[in-house]
A and B are shown apart, each in its own frame.
Chain A
Amino acid sequence: METLWETHRTSLIALAAALVALLSTVIVVPETQQAVIVRTGEPVNTVNKFKPNEPYGSTGAGIWWRIPFVDRVERIDKRVLSVDMEPQTVLSTDQLRLNVDAYARYRIIDPIKMVQTAGTLATVDSQLSQILSSVVRQELGRRSFASLLTAERGTTMANIRTKLDVQARKYGAQVIDVRIKRADLPDGSPLESAFKRMQSARKQEADTLRAQGLKNAQIIRAEAEAEAANIYAAAYGKDPNFYDFFRAMQSYDTTFAADSKSDSTIILSPDNEYLRQFRGQR
């Protein structure tokens, strides 16, 4: 060891110095980043700048160089980034409130502009977030409540995206997509009244079902009675006279039965048919 150090001292020091120089000159830009080389405060070059539809492997990523201590490298994310909005209360044209939570997806397409205007990604993020909330409130506030729920169907989301994109371009960013993540009724009275409405709708459904049941039951009973009347008519119609007699007998039996509610006292005249023989042959 000592001998190695003694004999190759100068070359070892030179090697170390070369290594340090190499490390401070060469920069590695991965696929997920784009770099802006800032020379004495002025952006002079970009490495691995975003170009649409560029296949990976033929991008500008990889090794690049800089002048040590003169060039500063600003590394900026090249990937699709997200802006999350603070949930907003939107008032629809029919004066109903809706809590809306949206997100946007964007990408830095002009890193030099971004470094000049915003500096860091965090700044871009917070700026875009504020712009997004105001644009969302503006655009959704022009619509009725029912169409707020199906905002995707119309041009609303496209409008929001275009408006946000115009602002984002100033920061060298491009807005790819804006989506409504959640749309909820605010807590408190709007939610309560929605629940009440649902309850009354269900109550109506329940009452209708019960009424339908009663109606059907009535029809079934009436049909059965009609059928029974038909049967009776067919049977008794053969001899109405005899039916009258037969039914009268049955009726007496039932009316004057021992277990009838009130006692009966029957006063018979001797002229009665039943007592005809009672009087003897006169």
Chain B
Amino acid sequence: MDIKDGMGRLVGLAMAGKSPWGGSKKPGDEPAPGKPAGDDPAPVEEPAAEHPADDKPAKDRPTGPRNPWLPPSDEPRRSASIEDIFKHRGPEGPRRMGGSGGPNFRFPQRPGGKSWFPLAIAAIAVIWLGLSMVHQVGPKEEGVVTTFGKYSRTLTPGLSLTLPWPIQRVDIEGVSEFRIEQMPEGTAQKLMLTGDQNLVDLSYIVRWTIKDLKLFRFQLSAPEETVREVAEAAMRASVAEKELNDVLSGSGRADIEQAVTSRMQSILDAYRSGIAIQGVQIRKTDPPQEVEESFKDVSAAQQDADAEINRAELYAQQVLARAQGDAASFDKIYAQYKLAPEVTRRRLYYETMERVLRQNDKTVIESQGVTTYLPLPEVKKRARAAMPEAQ
């Protein structure tokens, strides 16, 4: 609060200094229009560095640059000399923005003539103490407090107090949030050798959290890199213990995930890293692009085999149905035949002969002993003529 108030006054003063009406502040002068009117009593005081050369001896004498629009002051009026003009182009000259620094800067003063300096120092000290002593630790976080570099305690979520900065230092880290390492980064294929010396394109993610913040901060020089390297080593070792078909199958993948998780945890525990592996998920296990066609061919072959079996089953159904149909029709005829064997037999014979002989050329040779002349060339010709039709 102090500093803000101080700053407000400071701004007001700076603007007063830049005012084109100058700072010929006789006590009781109305603030000029355009000035931040009546912000505080400070403008009554001598604005800093208006007349640096004149000011030094008479700090409390209200003098300013001579202003031709104002009634003459008790000082005798004289025309502006070249010196005056250049003096006004100092650091607080009319067109300079901002800067209240410069060689002739003096700290603005409080009413009563005292300096703002001690208050400003106090304000900075309060802010510094406030920032370095009070620490808010979020719900997923913990903080490590070190006293001159030495570990002293771990902050749990909530508001806590420590000694100020050079003495104690706090590093807050999200401990229970899941960190995810994606292996490999990018989409390039990463081949791994399986136990049967085949290659598999494998990508996976590792999720981990911090289980002991002080170990995590003090024990490893590069924790994230360590997690990645350990993950690679563990995954490679686990995949090398499995055969390609196991790696590609779902249950094999689950086994590998389990094995990698426990392997990583034991390695990281051996490093006393303070890292807990929450899980390893294999995102994909594919055959290498170069042999992908062959793998597709295997599933195509499976389809082919299934299709062949389906066709055979269709055929089987047809054969059986036909056999059953034939048997059934024979049974029916046979039942009739049993009732009147001779008649049925004859009827069937004549009916069949009728159909057969009606549709074919017939030659009946009545007399005995005639040698039959078979017109073979003609038969062949007819056969040849019939061929194209058939085709």
Contact = CB atoms under 8 A, between A and B. Distances in A.
Contacts of A78: 218
A179 B235 CA distance: 12
Contacts of B301: 205-207, 209-210, 213
From B197, B222, B356, residue with most partner A Cβ within 10 Å: B356
Interface in B276-314: 287-288, 290-291, 294-295, 297-298, 300-302, 304-309, 311-313
A225 B319 contact: yes
A207 B297 CA distance: 9
Contacts of A232: 323, 326-327
B142 to A, nearest CB: 14
Nearest to A26: B148
B365 interface: yes
Interface stretch (A53-61, A111-119, A165-173): A53-61
B233 interface: yes
A269 interface: yes
A30 B229 contact: no
B136 interface: no
B380 to A, nearest CB: 11
Contacts of B327: 231-232, 234-236
A54 to B, nearest CB: 11
B156 interface: no
Interface stretch (B38-46, B73-81, B345-353): B345-353
Given A146-B197, A235-B327, A246 B362 contact: no
B261 to A, nearest CB: 16
A203 B297 CA distance: 7
Interface stretch (A7-15, A38-46, A194-202): A194-202
A21 interface: no
A256 to B, nearest CB: 4
Contact of B363 (A33, A198, A234, A267): A267
Contacts, number: 278
Contacts of A143: none
Interface string A21-50: 000000011111100000000000000000
Contacts of B319: 221, 224-225, 227-228
From A1, A177, A214, A217, residue with most partner B Cβ within 10 Å: A217
Contacts of A274: 349-350, 353, 357
A221 B315 contact: yes
Interface stretch (B47-55, B82-90, B382-390): B382-390
Given A28-B148, A232-B323, A264-B361, A213 B337 contact: no
Interface string A120-142: 00000000000000000000000
27 contacts: A1-B107, A31-B150, A32-B218, A62-B147, A80-B273, A105-B271, A150-B195, A176-B270, A181-B229, A182-B232, A183-B236, A194-B198, A199-B294, A202-B291, A206-B294, A206-B301, A213-B309, A220-B312, A235-B326, A236-B327, A252-B352, A252-B356, A253-B355, A253-B356, A256-B356, A262-B386, A263-B360
Interface of A: 1, 28-33, 56-57, 59, 61-63, 77-82, 103, 105, 145-146, 149-150, 152-153, 176-177, 179-185, 191, 194-195, 197-199, 201-203, 205-207, 209-210, 212-214, 216-221, 223-225, 227-229, 231-232, 234-236, 238-239, 242-243, 245-246, 249, 252-253, 256-258, 261-270, 273-275, 278
* Leading 5 A-B pairs by shortest Cβ distance: A213-B305, A224-B316, A217-B312, A228-B323, A235-B327
Given A56-B218, A263-B383, 16 more contacts: A1-B107, A30-B149, A79-B221, A105-B226, A150-B195, A150-B237, A182-B232, A191-B199, A194-B198, A206-B294, A206-B301, A210-B304, A213-B305, A218-B312, A253-B356, A270-B364
